[in-house]
Structure 1
């Protein structure tokens, strides 16, 4: 999906949002907001036994996490406004709020290319679409964070889809090769193509390489996910490089240095992602799930694959006829009941490995602390 990058370069920036305004943050430390709400999860074991766990807010964490959400705005205009509604709130709660267990949470509201704008782009029209405005808002929010909240603290960047696209540009312009890079534990750039050269090393960035060890810092974690029985088609939105001589980065959060399948610590929503997401089957026979999230230990695994010119995180659901848990986890994008296979498991990208990503923040923070 190179069109957003091209538009970002071609469109003119407008005055960014004012991030001294509390309403321009979905999550901000020291207050009650999306990132402090109920995040309990039902853990469903292979034998069908269940228990409930919470994601408690860390006390005085030494790390900050800065998140940019994906394309979710249902505003009727091609660019969203600065009034967050249930779509922005919902995806932030699902993808980012669990990080509160390891870091202070920062999530700005920004004027993004809306779902309506994305439909226009797919139809060949960029009228009224201004990705530079989206970038300008996020850049201003990050600058506000650095000036007013960072105080030399290590931080992690977390993005998905359009959020990853924006963060990729932000890193290239404002972080890569600059002093602030020393404080970046990692950039978790999920659900959008991040380029590397054919050696699997640098591509989108000059001085940032893929993470290859859980205690490595100053590196990049990125992947796009597809089910094992539905790999990227030729028209895949993600996983296929835009330029010759490059490939799409895949780092497996379950095993950064490994090449084979690894169990993933998934934290998935118990229900569907709005009307555009195909819902899962009932998670376990004969039981109603009453928590916002589920965890299914040992059910889901992932491995980075290169196949037919595509690079992606291959997701396997380890079906077992004796396991009462469902093998149908949903997560595909669908329109009028038709699954859009070109999108893979886009809606599940973050959740499939969210527990692993949170664990990596802990490991990287420990490694950073050991350097001091």
Structure 2
């Protein structure tokens, strides 16, 4: 079974290489052609109230042995134990055109979700409680469509995330601070979840930090609805961290277009908007930092199944439009997308800095209480 997964992942890598020439000239059109489903949306039932009481609906949750997120990469210091509950929403791992949403029993997307949890959510493994739900995520091609089918697919996926969050809130101790984290599609869900479940409620006071990484967040049109400010300084808590990574000279058009297609939380246009950029090397809004500030990138093998920590890989600065620009084009692996888009490496590029940032903001929240 493991060998089948590795073959599948290697095949995906080959496909990425084979398509790069076409994608470099027509990135958005080619991606849409390759990944957008050619069928109508299939209506499905919302999750039952008790669905997320089932441990099988979680990649990680307290009491679950052997979850992939509790991994400490070679070269990393042991995770600092923190009295906090983390709710992590994984990014898109379903690439199939046969459905708008991943079936919960789809083998490949489940395994890829576990692999990504190992690489990304492990930065939060010091949490006393770490919860990572499975959900009927939208397929990659849905991000490239503004059709009714895509809209329905997003609503279905979001309903699952809300149901998982409701179970999470019901289970965690009432005096425990909360960190919300997610990447890409996961960050998109978090931004809505904050507006729908947290903003303006007593729960907002328990939020130590939000890490909505890999999705464009508008300070003007999203943050007010999310009910939390940007994390302007390294010791801020109860605030939002976000960034999108690009090589020097990279083009963020595809990522910005995806955000504009889904729309702002206040319903306004995002045309020409500047997005939130919290520099992961400094923990501050905007600014720049040299490679010496990078405490350790997680250098993953091509299958994302292992890796080691490498300090000083790259510096980074926040551009005026909100893109996080790296120094040059760091060699991270084969999943650098057209436009020097390091989307798949948003977290691995700054893995140690993110883990430290997480700990610092939790302690800051606890100190202020």
Of 272, 277, 289, which aligns to 1:261? 289
Shift of 1:294: 2.1
Q: 1:295-334 counterparts in 2 under 5 A?
A: 295-306=309-320, 310-316=321-327, 328-330=331-333, 332-333=335-336
Q: 1:98-247 counterparts in 2 under 5 A?
A: 98-115=123-140, 117-118=141-142, 121-122=144-145, 126=149, 130-197=153-220, 203=223, 205=225, 207-232=227-252, 235-238=253-256, 242=260, 243-244=270-271, 246-247=273-274
* Structure 1 alignment gaps of length 5 or more: 2-10, 42-51, 275-290, 319-326, 334-338
Higher strand fraction (1 or 2): 1
CA 1:166/1:317 → structure 2, altered by over 3 Å: closer, same or farther? same
CA 1:359/1:127 → structure 2, altered by over 3 Å: closer, same or farther? closer
CA root-mean-square deviation: 3.2
TM (norm. structure 2) is: 0.75
Q: Is the 8 A contact 2:87 2:180 kept in 1?
A: yes
Secondary structure of residue in 2 paired with 1:354:
helix
* Structure 2 alignment gaps of length 5 or more: 1-27, 29-41, 261-269
Distance in 2 (alpha carbons) for counterparts of 1:62 and 1:127: 39
Distance in 2 (alpha carbons) for counterparts of 1:136 and 1:95: 23
- Shifted more, 23-32 versus 76-85: the winner is 76-85
Q: Is the 8 A contact 1:102 1:361 kept in 2?
A: no
Count of aligned pairs = 313
Higher helix fraction (1 or 2): 2
Q: Is the 8 A contact 1:202 1:210 kept in 2?
A: no
TM (norm. structure 1) is: 0.74
Distance in 2 (alpha carbons) for counterparts of 1:271 and 1:244: 37
